[in-house]
Structure 1
């Protein structure tokens, strides 16, 4: 078979080339509303979108209606400004369907278009249960991001998918003030799911920016009022993950400020949840900025706590969680429960937020539901829920003022992922996205994201239940046969989300990949054997090495410089980690021996011969690469 080598075009470059091609095609003839130019899936990754373009004789306003399968399913929008040059994004098409799109101009002209879409593959999941009304849900869609093999997709009131994206996008979904989506990238930098950063992407599918972070991205991000972005990350060389946050400049991608949780919290094994280990001691899965107190609230799954830190100084203000087992000098940060109502601490929670009145809301996964191993609660007897706490920071007391989910028991239990959303007082979303059962109907105690083999063989079954409640009445409930990290209700159309032509930007930095200072002694052994399944991909800003090795094998990737370029050596980890919090399994290879190791191009210039050392033998790959 030999070594496979390919150059992989970055999505920004692919999309720019596609854009140049369809603009050139458009320019070949004059298009009016009578013969508009229609491009389905113009940016390659959003199959249920299209672009309609034409010229008017004078400026006109437009109204666009994507007809539903019934009248309640119509998706309609009006661009905010009039124009001679019409560039109309079309969202809300159905898959494998002859869609009807009506465009009406303020001049009185109109046209009805038919846009035929392709069938979607089985990664676009169909709901197994949907209960709401079109009067309640209106023209909203529920967008979900997957942790098991599935697409990021958006579903209407009837459970029909009206948008999906074919990139392997994961973790949080947020709509920025400019109408774009902020989501994690599809470029893995470290196992099991840490990616290069976040994409800023229009609903049309165009990636306008990639914000790259040296430590990689995971779980969550937050747009500040001035546009800068808080991004959860880590410092990979020190051997721990998911324990830091950075503030990134929206215009340049440069890091402006950092918060390291090791500065304010004791690490492993202090405060450990049932999923904690020394590598992933905190597991920061959410960040929330509160303007009133100028503070940041973080969720630490592996210490069963939510913490609040001063934005400017980083000082620790308070901790919400079960204080059992925490050292005496930390007890002052914890709250004492008060009140006559029900009260349960949250365990391995997600999606912390500060409500307008200062209350604290989160999704309480309830994983193990105890700090003491002997008291762990098994999944079949457990529950997950959305919960709101009222805190008093003067006397350090806490009261539980609302919850939804406990009454549903194990049916609603998710040992990982999930989120809540606040709409107004009494009106909330509660998304239990990590439900899993075995073939006997037993609920699973551990995250199912990494159980690809069991899912394929039909011995593990996945479910996601998304609920909206108003004044404790369920007005919306959707079940999907996969696990989804978060759910977000939004409009497909946002008047700020205009299609802007031009090449997207790669901002920030992947950093410099840590080198091993000496080359491991090894004998020359010819070409690397096929059994290692070695593959290399050259991307715009890095080299990615993939191969298959038994766990514990000593592996080193060598870049042997030519024409005076210095040799570079990189240690490739092959030690098996348990990854007790496998939040996203979509980046995992089916082969348990699979290794993926990226080398950032930053700081490297010249031409290099690529070799691989395996134990005491050094193999040629036949690959030569220029940075």
Structure 2
């Protein structure tokens, strides 16, 4: 009798598995059908529903669970520690992907707050941070260690009554990966650099495809990630990092968007399958990278991403807003619905090996909180433009006037500067001095690659690349050049692709000539715009092909609104 019931139970389980397998197979077939027989809004444009189906981001908890498991282990170790600064537990690379970070677990008899000092090779490379809260059980996050060194990390404990005592702990790290290449310092004037409180700000070389790392004022690597990162490396309003990485290191495509931090903890991860029809045969599917160049946080804390829409014909011309909590797509902006049809149907500026048309090549965007406008940069149209984010209606276009239909000419900004050189192949747009800007006046910074793809001044194309700042009157539709640097460097620092230019404070700008000498060099330059003095200059060579620096960003290891915690991530 018992055997009979066992057979019935096994039979029921097999039926359940079979039904589940058939359901999965059916869903897979249905999805494949809709991917190869795509629904269009018009001849060249996919429907919004089709784009959502093509992209389908999903939340992954795999890395969050790993993070929580490690944090739980450290919480238990801290709970079991004996009291006393000599009984501390020192951990290197606590979350396994940031080798130049550490964690010190320690208990004190009295409630104290802790200050951290990572000893540098000079006073300007000694990294300091003070934690504000008083407690007896401390989990002290340490950032900014040197590679291949026994680092000395000093913790100073202070009671509420002001009594101080300290202890030096040692943290030994391994050598750097060779793929970082060589970072040779040509100029360094730390007293005139923007290093932030406690020298916590590093120059981060954001990879196109490979290793992202941070340099101190002497050009030494003080942070890097073992994760492969492509293009996206941003600091969010909560102090976390947003990065574009791989779902698995064994896969070639970058289809995982992670909310993480400098220690390597993962708070959220959104995965994209990237399974799209091929151009040569629309019935065949191939895996593509979905997010390609940029991602920003909107005022509602959702994320806006530059994506491929999944069509068989066009790439890098669409944006999606995803819900931060669920990953669901809340809004789709297809640039083919905004710009003239001739821009993509008659485009011939570049070609791709897969046959698809990269007519726009969106590489950056910026949301203006004051006006609700979204600024967009497209390399292959040599164009920066603004739309109202809610309505997606065009506000203005910054570009030379070639190959634009008459109906679009009214949006063009008119130069007030004599012999104004329009942007060509530009990158890294951002508004600056936003608190000072009044009404319709805005200041826009960008990196002008100065390589004409569709429109611009062919006579000086590729002669140099430059960092630019312009003032735009959005009401009068005028543009005035405010500042520029790079022309004097000539062809030696011309960059056909990539590059960035960011105002970082003290009147300084940090410029990345990321594809110098045909991509064999990247050069990071910090310059004071008023005095024209170069205060920091690093030449990067010896890196792997494709791993040139996409952007150079000055960021703090200890963001203002972020503190280290071992709490479970929900």
**TM-score when scaled to structure 1?**
0.69
> Helix, strand or coil for the counterpart of 2:404?
coil
Q: 1:417 to 1:184 in 2, by over 3 A?
A: same
> Structure 1's 283 and 47: CA in aligned 2 closer, same or farther, altered over 3 A?
same
Which residue in the other structure is 2:207 paired with?
146
The residue aligned with 2:232 is: 172
The one-character-per-residue Cα deviations of 1:578-603 (angstroms, maximum 9, x if unpaired) are xxxxxxxxxxxxxxxxxxxxxxxxxx
Q: How many residues align?
A: 469
Q: Is the 8 A contact 1:270 1:326 kept in 2?
A: no
Ranges of 4+ aligned residues in structure 1 off by more than 6 Å: none
Structure-1 residue corresponding to 2:549 = 484
1:135 aligns with 2:191: yes
User: CA 1:502–1:235 in structure 2 vs 1: closer, same or farther (change >3 Å)?
Assistant: farther
Query: C-alpha separation between the residues in 1 aligned to 2:185 and 2:119?
Result: 24
Distance 1:299 1:495, change over 3 A: closer
Match of 1:156 in 2: 216
- The residue number in structure 2 matching 1:406 is 487
1:350 aligns with 2:424: no
- Report 1:418-457 matches (<5 A): 418-423=499-504, 426-436=507-517, 444=518, 448=519
Q: Deviations over 1:330-385 (max 9, x none)?
A: 22222232333x41011111111223230222111112477389x47674xx1111
Q: Write the deviation string for residues 197-232 of structure 1: whole angstroms up to 9, x where unpaired.
A: 421111112121113457632211222233222222
2:470 touches 2:480 (CA, 8 Å); kept in 1? yes
Distance 1:130 1:397 in 2: 39
Q: C-alpha separation between the residues in 1 aligned to 2:240 and 2:101? A: 15
1:115 aligns to 2:115 (yes or no): no
Identify which of 255, 263, 282 aligns with 1:196. 255
Match of 1:359 in 2: 443
- The more displaced of 401-410 and 294-303 is 401-410
Shift, 1:72, TM fit: 2.8
Name the counterpart of 1:39.
91
Deviation at 1:114, TM superposition (A): 1.0
Q: Which structure 2 segments of 5+ residues have no match?
A: 1-59, 275-289
Higher strand share: 1
1:502 CA displacement: 5.5
Residues 497 and 515, structure 2, Cα contact 8 Å, conserved in 1: yes
Aligned to 2:344: 268
Q: Whose helix proportion is higher, 1 or 2?
A: 2
Q: Which residue of 1 aligns with 2:105?
A: 53
Q: Which residue matches 2:48?
A: none
Residues 156-207 of structure 1: CA deviation (Å, up to 9, x unaligned): 0011111111100121322112221112122389x985x3242111111212
User: Separation in 2 of the partners of 1:99 and 1:426?
Assistant: 34
- Taking structure 1 as reference, are residues 315 and 327 closer, same or farther at Cα in structure 2, changes over 3 Å only? same
Instruction: Give the whole-Å Cα distance in 1 for the aligned partners of 2:248 and 2:140.
Output: 34
- Structure 1 residue aligned with 2:142: 90
Q: How does 1:275-354 map to 2 (within 5 A)?
A: 278-340=356-418, 342-354=419-431
Per-residue CA distance 1:245-275 (angstroms, 9 max, x = gap): 1222223322222211111113424566456
Distance 1:239 1:405, change over 3 A: same
Residues 401/72 of structure 1: CA separation in 2 closer, same or farther (3 Å cut): closer
Unaligned runs of 5+ in 1: 1-7, 437-443, 449-460, 506-627
CA distance in 1 between partners of 2:114 and 2:189 (Å): 29
CA distance in 2, matches of 1:172, 1:148: 10
